Structure 1
Amino acid sequence: MNAVIIFFSFLVPLVSSLLIAQASNPLSTYQPLHVIDGAALYRKQLNDGNEAYLQIIDLRKMHIDQLIGEVDNMGLGQGKYYKGEGKYYSPFFQNKLFSGVAEEYQKLYINDVFSIINCSFFEQYQSSTQLSFPIKLNDIVITGGNSPYGPVRQPKNQNYRIVRLKALVWDDKQAYITDYNPVTGAPLNQKNVKNAIVTYKYSDHPAKVLAQNPANKYQVIGTLDKDGVKGNELLLIMTVNSATLDEAADLLRKLGVKGDIITVDGGRSTYLFNSQRGNIIVPQLANLEANPTFRHLPHYLGFRRKSKKPIASQILVSQPVGKVLLEKNQPYLILWRDNLDGEVTIKLYDGEKLVQNISKSTASDGVYEWTPHIALKKGYSVRISSQKNQKVFGQLQLQ
């Protein structure tokens, strides 16, 4: 009974914001699976026994985390899309097993976790990979992207010479989708933009443009206004287990989405986890040993409640697949995950001997761009510690 009450308390304001006619409520064909204050997961039966899963995320009450594998190699000068070809780095990020990502995310945030999906496109299937298009993570553009399917000088297919990529931008109040400019980097180059991903408009996905829009697993995303005040507070994510991109996007249109609809990584990589329902759609194993595996992925989005509940402080750092070889006077991205309510310090150690204070105080936001100005020796490590309690730390081993 409580679940029903919560569902309808969430549904009533949503219905009014969608301007749904009294006689027809599009959500009436969806089954609520998990509804909390600020987020909801629904299931809809499609033709031929297929299913669609809808997530509605209220950004005023929910937080989005970008969950990214540590950097193996910075890919210096290989970024194709951020301010022109080869003018920015395109790092190789460690591919992380989906189940490990979910376990770690729940370890950090416990009962506040709502869901996880896979996100960025990638075209390399080794233990670490470059991402297809730019990403901004907590105020830092961490990759310029490296896809051959986009507006570059020599795309793999000429259809992509003039394609216009889209950027999904969000903060703690709203989200929007806008054109991405690879010459200027807009909107990622704007100071007020803290988090953003660049990707395809759903109709520009290679599956639709080059492969006649087959039915497959896809994830499409749109934004929606809830309160009638300028700004879209709701993020709508539709995950289908077998439908065309047009069909998936049409499901969002019927819910009231009027602006651009984007797509993120799908197909065999598609992942949808919910804290109450567990793994709903999981990445597939390769059919043949010669084929790539899709269960290890480089970039996920996690959704959790904004909470001030006390949780045991933790800082987590995974070791990259290969040795971290840093060059003097060349940038490197230090990445970590934490649940701290405060700042961190970042220090360089030789064993237990302090070599250098990299940063005496920086935000506990999981990313720091560091350019070492000294030669780094074998055995050095980077330690990220809570400023309040230096015993809470994570460590990245170098070389």
Structure 2
Amino acid sequence: MNAAKKLFFFFFTLISSLLIAPTFTPPSSYQPIEVVDGAALYKQQLTDGNEAYLQVINLHKMQIDQLIGEVDNMGLAQGKYYKGEGGHYSPFFQRKLFEDVTSEYKQLYQNTVFSIINCSFFEQYKSSTQLSFPIKLNGKVISAGSSPYGPINQPMDAFYSKVRLKALVWDDKQAYITDYDPTTGAPLNERGVQNAMVNYKYSDHPAKVLAHNQANRYHVIGTLNFDGIKGDELLLVLTVNQATLDEAADLLRQLGVKGDIITVDGGTSTYLFNSRMGNIMLPQSANPKDSPSFRNLPHYLGFRKRGKKQVLPHIFISQPAGKVLLEENKPYLILWRDNLNSEVTIELYERDKLIQVISPRTASDGVYEWTPDRPMKEGYSLRISMLKNRKIFGTLQLQ
């Protein structure tokens, strides 16, 4: 077969496989709630009145956004899980009210929004908190984690001294779960990895290891290849309202998940929003007096349909509850959220006076590491502006 025929055969096979690619459908016990092109939400009734919600996300058609609170304190040299203890920062991220996160996300992306869940583990119940394990956001490792329940020199429990953490990695073609290496930072240290987060394998979660596999609310996540092309293009997120981690993971196994299964922050923090159903599960506390503090979470995942849509451009920056602490010649993470298709400019102002152009143009990807070359003064602020329309901007007060 000559080269031209081989090339024609390759493209014919590829196009044919895309056209006839099967659609994943769970067993009939999973009742569809919302099904769109690229995503679906199902409900399964479990025993004793318990419920499971299954989200099927096709990475070829859906965008995953990390929604995370702004930084007030960088936690310099406090990181524990990225290239050695104390070798990276572990910032304090603002805990954001789930209603505010959902409202903002819907304002940015309107009817393309499919769902939102809470995500990374955290263990500090203050206005801002460190995350338990590393996160990579749009090409930047923004935290090395702080959890005492992991493979560090002196963990809170001996079981965790040798536990193997897992990394969930995704892009616009596939998602996969693999071993995480705290010594090298792999796979987060790889240039081709743009978004990833480190978590427990479901069977290593403290709720199973230390709390005797108690029934609770959990999110468990697995990946699945269903189109016959190499790479797991489906992300399966299963949320239970009262089950053990073993039971939740077994439900994913029954759906065909063969690789690792991870769990993300659950229990009282569990949040599940769907564009059709609204709030399905809300963060809560066993003590009603404490409930407001459990409604604020530092890290969420948003799922939306990919593609261009005409919406009003926005740049959102929230002011952390605590004072923003910046030090001269020390790094600081500037975080924001936008729906722009163009680049942004980042500048330092003293009230209405431009002091410094931090970056004349950078990607509108919501993260920029800046090292101030001067002490901060009262009245200083950061301004992120749309490059093509400087009237569209967001401001973060520094002093």
1: CA distance between counterparts of 2:244 and 2:332? 40
Between 1:281-290 and 1:194-203, the stretch displaced more is: 281-290
2: CA distance between counterparts of 1:27 and 1:298? 35
Which residue is equivalent to 2:262?
A: 262
Following TM superposition, by how much is the alpha carbon of 1:352 offset from its aligned partner in structure 2, in angstroms?
A: 1.2
Deviations 1:299-348 (A, max 9, x none): 00000011211110000000011111210000000000000011000000
2:38 partner amino acid = G
1: CA distance between counterparts of 2:392 and 2:27? 45
Which residue is equivalent to 1:168?
A: 168
Which residue is equivalent to 1:199?
A: 199
**Is the contact between residue 26 and residue 254 of structure 1 (CA under 8 Å) also seen in structure 2?**
no
2: CA distance between counterparts of 1:286 and 1:247? 23
Superposed, 1:10-159 pairs within 5 Å as 13-15=22-24, 26-159=26-159
Find the residue that maps to 1:148 and give its secondary structure.
coil
1: CA distance between counterparts of 2:256 and 2:269? 28
Which residue is equivalent to 1:390?
A: 390
RMSD of aligned alpha carbons: 1.5
Find the residue that maps to 1:327 and give its secondary structure.
coil
**Is the contact between residue 71 and residue 320 of structure 1 (CA under 8 Å) also seen in structure 2?**
yes
**Is the contact between residue 333 and residue 370 of structure 2 (CA under 8 Å) also seen in structure 1?**
yes
Following TM superposition, by how much is the alpha carbon of 1:285 offset from its aligned partner in structure 2, in angstroms?
A: 3.6
Following TM superposition, by how much is the alpha carbon of 1:14 offset from its aligned partner in structure 2, in angstroms?
A: 2.9
**Is the contact between residue 286 and residue 292 of structure 1 (CA under 8 Å) also seen in structure 2?**
no
Deviations 1:192-230 (A, max 9, x none): 000000000000000101111011000000000121111
Q: Tell me how many residue pairs correspond in the alignment.
A: 381
**Is the contact between residue 286 and residue 293 of structure 1 (CA under 8 Å) also seen in structure 2?**
no
Superposed, 1:291-306 pairs within 5 Å as 293-306=293-306
Which residue is equivalent to 1:19?
A: none
- Residue 185 of structure 1 pairs with residue 188 of structure 2: no
Following TM superposition, by how much is the alpha carbon of 1:104 offset from its aligned partner in structure 2, in angstroms?
A: 0.7
Following TM superposition, by how much is the alpha carbon of 1:109 offset from its aligned partner in structure 2, in angstroms?
A: 0.5
Find the residue that maps to 1:28 and give its secondary structure.
coil
Following TM superposition, by how much is the alpha carbon of 1:288 offset from its aligned partner in structure 2, in angstroms?
A: 5.7
1: CA distance between counterparts of 2:134 and 2:292? 23
**Is the contact between residue 70 and residue 318 of structure 1 (CA under 8 Å) also seen in structure 2?**
yes
1: CA distance between counterparts of 2:217 and 2:110? 29
Compared with structure 1, are the counterparts of its residues 290 and 364 closer, same or farther at alpha carbon in structure 2 (3 Å cutoff)? Answer: closer
Which residue is equivalent to 2:362?
A: 362
Identity rate of aligned residues, in percent? Answer: 72
1: CA distance between counterparts of 2:43 and 2:291? 31
